[in-house]
Amino acid sequence: MSATAWAWLVLAFPLAGTLVIGLGWRVLPGRVPGWLASSMILAAFACAIAATVKMQDRAPAARHASSTLFDYAHSAGLNIGLSIYVDPLSLFMALVVSGVSFLIHVYSVSYMTSDKGFTRYFAYLNFFVFSMLLLVLAGNIIILIVGWAFVGAASYLLISFWYRRETATAAGIKAFVMNVIGDVALVIAAFLLWKNAGHHVSYTGIFAGSKTHFSHDQGTLIAACLLLTVGAFAKSAQLPLHTWLPDAMEGPTPVSALIHAATMVTAGVYLIARFHPLYEQAPTAANITAGVAAATLFFAATCALAVTDLKRIIAYSTMSQIGYMMVGVSTGGYDGGLFHLMTHAFFKALLFMGAGSVIGAMAGIQDIDRMGGFRKSMRFTYITFVVGALTLAGMMPFAGWFSKDEILGFDVHRGGFDLILAIVGFAGALLTAFYSFRMVFRVFHGDSVPEAQSLERGELFHGEHVNPMTGEHEDTGVGFPGAEHHIAERELPMKFAMGTLAVLSVVGGVVAIPGVTDWLRNFLDPTFADSKFVNAAPSTGADWTGLIVGAGIALAGITTAFVCYIRRPGTTAEIIKRLPFLHRLFVNRWYFDELYDALFVRPTATFGRFGRYVVESAFVQGTLVGGATRIVGAGTALARTAQSGYLRGYAVLMLIGFGGLALYFLLQAT
């Protein structure tokens, strides 16, 4: 079987899973849907490996293939095929997505076991994986947009999975609308590319056409690239389209791990890597993208310092880390950006799983102010969480250390504008190390809270279910979290998933140790062979210098956190007292939500009311309808006066009519 045939199978398995689970919801018993879904993803992963092996058999220059199933839309000059494009980049993404998804599926089987929506959950989850794989394997920009929107829909469904919570549905619609903004931007970008790059929608066609039809840094090209960036930023929660991601934490925790950390939100990084030939032709657009991404990585890190909701801290951390990847891929450091995408998938999924464990032990409470001392009662979670935090902080020798510093080292090497980005990145790294261990120290260290104490006594804590946002009590029927939702790290599937990810976080860096193993770079090279940055990577010595600096910064951040929270608790309170303005700014996420509310939401709602009560009633009903009614009324009143009801009235009219006619004909005749 060819690589493309395997790739089609990669798509087929999750789709089949969705359909079987979706249609069989009434008959599939117990945990069967969960295991069925997991096995489908495992099969997809296996097929992705098979496709990769097939592809590696070819000569490096020939490692790309496309395949079209049928014409999706073919008329009036547009020719869109339902096609896939397989090359090292899409295979890399497919491997990461299906691999991490499999682990999260397995984790979910335990985590969601008591939820009344168990089957629905796995149907959605399989649909998500199908969509994500469609996105990364798509062979042209229209199919990409289809996958792009499908993941958005899956994300919406899973954010508002507990749909009887009003907070969850509000978060869902917010995420959906923000994502649609991205979709629209992509459609417009697709048009600009189609029109100006020789009427192609396939990647190969667009890239070939762009070289001949676009001159360097042309206005249209910049516009197209910036629209792609808007799409990427909406999906990847970068400034200024980021406000949906923290709210998206309303979804079940494994969903946050899968969609809102490991896979979907990194789709923007994939998009920019995929369209790198265009960005390289439009350095202005690439620089804007990188600049905004750098701003995001710093902004999100500051929010993560101040927010006290455990899942939201990790969410802001995700935004920040995606900022690194964006900086990487838009400045030409594709290997670094994608490498960080992979390691981030590992450690961020791991952190979310750990957070899920803790939140379960807290019976749904997510506020780290109320947590503490879980170190003893949840040893396994503690260890894996620390591994995740060390990797996030970029500590030596964990995977994040290699990947983050590869991006920053590349940008230092390029110098100029990129050097500024790198400096922002290093500053962000310091904050990252600090907030990672802020989580660790505040959740796991310190005095044990009552929940931790009862776990230490061996009681599995069953609290009443409360909505973490509003504190309202909830029942455990459909549409709310199930009864024994998160009793943590209790079952083998969860431990298996967390353990595997922890191991991957530790050893994941091995695929790209500068000067020792350049496996990832060699693997991805065929995709980026045409890049002008292909030989721009820094020397091995410079790489190692960067790595050592990075490790030093991580160590500094961790030490600071240690001092602030363990050695001298209360330091942070003092800082807050000194800088109340800064703290308020960070806690309120720099007031973006309020700004959007004032700029978009309220004006639109006001306009809607204005339309409903003023335009409709005064103008359309009053002037148009009323005016028409009055004209008709006046006309009929006139006609009514002729209808006297007296016979002779009619007779007179008739006589006048006939007389008039006769006169007319007489006059005509003469």
**Residues 172 to 211: which contact other proteins by CB under 8 A?**
172-173, 176-177, 180-181, 183-184, 187-188, 191, 194-195
Angle at 13 between CA 9 and CA 17, to 5 degrees: 165
Give the three-state DSSP class for 620: helix
Q: Which is nearer to other proteins, 230 or 305 (CB)?
A: 230
Binding-residue total with other proteins (CB under 8 A): 72
Amino acid at 646: Y
Q: Which is nearer to other proteins, 155 or 505 (CB)?
A: 155
Does the footprint of other proteins cover residue 75 (CB under 8 A)?
Answer: yes
- Cβ density class 493-520: b for 16+ within 10 Å, e for less: bbbebbbbbbebbbebbebbbbeeebeb
Nearest-approach distance from CB 593 to other proteins, in angstroms: 17
Does the footprint of other proteins cover residue 120 (CB under 8 A)?
Answer: yes
Stretch that binds other proteins, among 167-175, 412-420, 487-495, 519-527 (CB under 8 A): 167-175
Please, what is the end-to-end C-alpha distance for the chain in angstroms? Answer: 97
φ, ψ of residue 66 in degrees (nearest 5): -130, 160
Q: Which is nearer to other proteins, 166 or 594 (CB)?
A: 166
Nearest-approach distance from CB 636 to other proteins, in angstroms: 8
Q: Which is nearer to other proteins, 591 or 610 (CB)?
A: 610
Stretch that binds other proteins, among 420-428, 531-539, 571-579, 646-654 (CB under 8 A): 646-654
Stretch that binds other proteins, among 48-56, 237-245, 481-489, 633-641 (CB under 8 A): 633-641
Nearest-approach distance from CB 181 to other proteins, in angstroms: 6
Nearest-approach distance from CB 339 to other proteins, in angstroms: 30
Alpha carbons within 13 angstroms on the beta-carbon side of residue 255 total 28
Nearest-approach distance from CB 321 to other proteins, in angstroms: 27
Query: Which stretches of 529-620 are DSSP H helices?
Result: 540-562, 571-578, 580-587, 592-596, 602-610
Q: Which is nearer to other proteins, 181 or 576 (CB)?
A: 181
Q: Which is nearer to other proteins, 25 or 592 (CB)?
A: 25
Give the three-state DSSP class for 80: strand
Does the footprint of other proteins cover residue 581 (CB under 8 A)?
Answer: no
- Binding to other proteins (CB under 8 A) within 324-353 occurs at none
d(CA 232, CA 144): 12
Region for 517 from its dihedrals, namely left if φ exceeds 0, alpha if ψ lies in -120 to 50, beta otherwise: beta
- Binding to other proteins (CB under 8 A) within 609-628 occurs at 609, 611-612, 615-616, 619-621, 624-625, 628
Nearest-approach distance from CB 374 to other proteins, in angstroms: 33
- Binding to other proteins (CB under 8 A) within 245-274 occurs at none
Nearest-approach distance from CB 237 to other proteins, in angstroms: 17
Nearest-approach distance from CB 240 to other proteins, in angstroms: 15
- Binding to other proteins (CB under 8 A) within 650-669 occurs at 651-652, 655
Nearest-approach distance from CB 179 to other proteins, in angstroms: 9
Contact 80, 205 (CB under 8 A): no
Checking 627-632 for CB contacts under 8 A at 24+ apart, the result is none
- Binding to other proteins (CB under 8 A) within 589-608 occurs at 604-605, 607-608
Distances (CA, A) of 149 to 91, 210, 231, 325: 21, 25, 11, 22
Task: Establish whether the linkage from the previous residue to 240 is cis, with ω within 30° of 0.
Answer: yes
Q: Which is nearer to other proteins, 91 or 178 (CB)?
A: 178
- Binding to other proteins (CB under 8 A) within 127-166 occurs at 142, 145-146, 148-150, 153, 156-157, 160, 163-164, 166
* Residues in a beta bridge with 75: 78
- Binding to other proteins (CB under 8 A) within 52-71 occurs at 70-71
Nearest-approach distance from CB 317 to other proteins, in angstroms: 28
Residues 6+ apart with CB under 8 A from 180: 149, 152
For 38, counting Cβ atoms within 10 Å of its Cβ (0-12 exposed, 13-18 middle, 19+ buried), the class is buried
Q: Which is nearer to other proteins, 166 or 459 (CB)?
A: 166
Contact 247, 171 (CB under 8 A): yes
Q: Which is nearer to other proteins, 580 or 635 (CB)?
A: 635
- Binding to other proteins (CB under 8 A) within 439-498 occurs at 477-479
Q: Which is nearer to other proteins, 478 or 595 (CB)?
A: 478
d(CA 259, CA 266): 9
Q: Which is nearer to other proteins, 625 or 661 (CB)?
A: 625
d(CA 389, CA 395): 9
Q: Which is nearer to other proteins, 149 or 351 (CB)?
A: 149
Nearest-approach distance from CB 467 to other proteins, in angstroms: 11
Nearest-approach distance from CB 78 to other proteins, in angstroms: 6
Contact 469, 460 (CB under 8 A): no
Among 645, 666, 668, 670, indicate the residue that binds other proteins (CB under 8 A).
645
d(CA 294, CA 272): 15
Among 575, 632, 634, 653, indicate the residue that binds other proteins (CB under 8 A).
632
Nearest-approach distance from CB 632 to other proteins, in angstroms: 6
Among 59, 642, 667, 669, indicate the residue that binds other proteins (CB under 8 A).
642
- Binding to other proteins (CB under 8 A) within 1-30 occurs at 22, 25
Among 76, 666, 667, 669, indicate the residue that binds other proteins (CB under 8 A).
76
Query: Which stretches of 307-364 are DSSP H helices?
Result: 310-331, 334-361
Among 53, 62, 78, 618, indicate the residue that binds other proteins (CB under 8 A).
78
Q: What is the 3-state secondary structure (H, E, C) of 485-505?
A: CCCCCCCHHHHHHHHHHHHHH
d(CA 640, CA 576): 83
Nearest-approach distance from CB 607 to other proteins, in angstroms: 6
Nearest-approach distance from CB 40 to other proteins, in angstroms: 20
Angle at 62 between CA 60 and CA 66, to 5 degrees: 130
DSSP 3-state percent helix, strand, coil across the chain (nearest 5)? 75, 5, 20
Tokens of 131: 């969509």
- Binding to other proteins (CB under 8 A) within 391-430 occurs at none
Q: Which is nearer to other proteins, 548 or 628 (CB)?
A: 628
Q: Which is nearer to other proteins, 117 or 394 (CB)?
A: 117
Handedness of CA 305, 309, 310, 316 (dihedral sign): negative
